[in-house]
Amino acid sequence: MSYYEMLYVVSSSLPDEERDNLIAKLRDFTEKNKGIIESENKWGLRSLAYPIKHQNKGYYVLTYLELPEKSVKDLKYFFKVNEGFLRSMILKKEKKPTIVAPEVKNKQEVEGNV
């Protein structure tokens, strides 16, 4: 198994429920191919640098996963056949990424009453 960083853009024309179903379908596809999703960061709706399929905005998702190398080709095909995805990029990582959770400030620090 190898480690990958995957960034994909979902069409902004999809309703929220349909977009979430498409992301869940991708998650299920990954698990069926013996993949393990380490983390999934939904960046939300952002402007595209240039129009893609006549759209100026897209919903970005960054995912770190562990996947057998033979399944990457199937994953790329999955992106190609599902029209809800505007773009995708899969990068192979040398080693397992260390994902650091952001530091959470306590309520007093946020309010400035320290």
Q: Please report, for the domain that includes residue 59, its CATH number.
A: 3.30.70.60
Quick one: which of 74, 92, 91, 94 has its CA closest to 26? 74
Run of H or E residues at 18? helix 16-32
- The predicted pLDDT at position 93 comes to 86
- Tell me: the pLDDT tens digits for 22-48? 999 999 999 999 999 988 999 999 999
| Dist CA 58 CA 46 (whole Å) | 6
* Positions in the chain whose pLDDT score sits under 50: 101, 110, 114
Please state the domain count of the chain.
1
Domain housing 34 = 2-111
Coil, helix or strand at residue 63 = strand
Q: Given this model, what pLDDT does residue 8 score?
A: 95
